[in-house]
Amino acid sequence: MKIDRLFQIVILLLNKGTLTASQLAKHFGVTARTIYRDIETLSVCGIPVTMTPGHNGGIQLLDDYTLSRTYFSDAEKDNILLALQTLNVTDFPDADRALKRMASLFRSVPKEPWITVDYVPWGSQPHNFREFDQIRSSILDRRYVEFHYTNSSNEQKQVKIEPHQLIFKGAAWYLKGWDTDKRAFRTYKLTRMKNFQICEDHFETPHQEQNEKSASDVTSCSAPLLILHFHPDTLYRLYDNFTDSDMTHNEDGTITVQARFPVDEWLYGYLLSFGDKVQVLEPAKIREHLAERIDRMYRLYHPEIFSQS
């Protein structure tokens, strides 16, 4: 942790010029005494850090100092450039400029990356990542955010949270934060957030999670076990959502899946998306509810049949 902080101090001084010990202490969440010890460590390591007393004084590097590219191995240089290339996909502020500066520092032309990250689904229009900048600013500045949210039960409400982390999981973006109304951590899907606004008020000390279970842990404990029978034609889709241990390949080519799911609108929509190529074997309650939905759909498209009865 200290090594990371020492490196970040050098980067900050290169970018900002002069910073006070109190500014650095606030940035890293440590005491000014710790910062002074870090400066001594940097000096011992040969980094030309100087401290100027007075009202306009502070901590700075010598004007002609540059970060030596020899501090990094070739593999580390490639990893840094790859990370910046990946970040650049999201239109992250200054990522492109940082990529060019680091490439210049390393005297290296960015290689064709061995991995490409594209968050836009096939056939979709390029996504607007401007809200990422807003979320990033609110997290780093420790400012509350408010937005209108629609959950998976189609319930709508105004939410105010202290934002903690932007998460990409399962082909979707989420914002994790402390809900001021629920008094607990919650995760919100970005596409369901509307009228996002950064509040004027700040939070000083972020709430910390206290041994809270992840969503996957909760699902594995509380969600019912579904036994599903799939047509052979669905195999390519099953590989997208299930592991080999979830699936049993039958002699006739059909596939039996056993997996736990939370029972909500997403589950029924997912099962219905397979049409007549899936059969719910268990639980009986979900099987019956799905049959009722199919019956209502049939009535919707054939009203003339039921209007005569």
Q: If you average pLDDT over every residue of the chain, what do you get? A: 81
Domains of the chain in start order, with CATH, are 2-61 (1.10.10.10), 130-212 (2.30.30), 218-301 (3.30.70)
Q: What is the pLDDT at residue 217?
A: 47
Residue 238, pLDDT > 90, answer yes
**199: which 2 tokens?**
């509040």
- The β-bridge partners of 255 are 230, 249
Q: How far is it, in rounded angstroms, from Cα 208 to Cα 203?
A: 13
Residue 194: both structure tokens together: 């509307």
Q: Return the residue matching tokens 């809200």.
A: 131
pLDDT in tens, 35-57: 988 888 888 777 788 888 877 78
Tell me what pLDDT residue 103 has.
Answer: 64
Structure tokens at 298: 């049939």
Question: Residue 160 above 70 pLDDT?
Answer: yes
Beta-ladder partners of 247: 257
Which of 95-109, 259-273, 288-302 shows the lowest per-residue confidence on average (mean pLDDT)? Answer: 95-109
Average pLDDT estimate for 234-249: 93
Q: Give the span between the Cα atoms of 270 and 242, in whole angstroms.
A: 13
pLDDT average, residue stretch 84-112: 60
Q: Which residue has the higher pLDDT, 62 or 186?
A: 186
Strand order in the sheet with 278-282: 247-249, 255-260, 225-230, 278-282
Angle at 167 between CA 163 and CA 169, to 5 degrees: 150
Distance CA 262, CA 76 (A): 42
Q: Show the tokens assigned to 254.
A: 């059909």
- Min mean pLDDT across 36-40, 127-131, 139-143, 166-170 is at 127-131
Calculate mean pLDDT across residues 57-76: 70
Backbone angles phi, psi at 72, to 5 degrees: -120, 145
Residue 9, exposed/middle/buried by CB under 10 A (0-12, 13-18, 19+)? buried
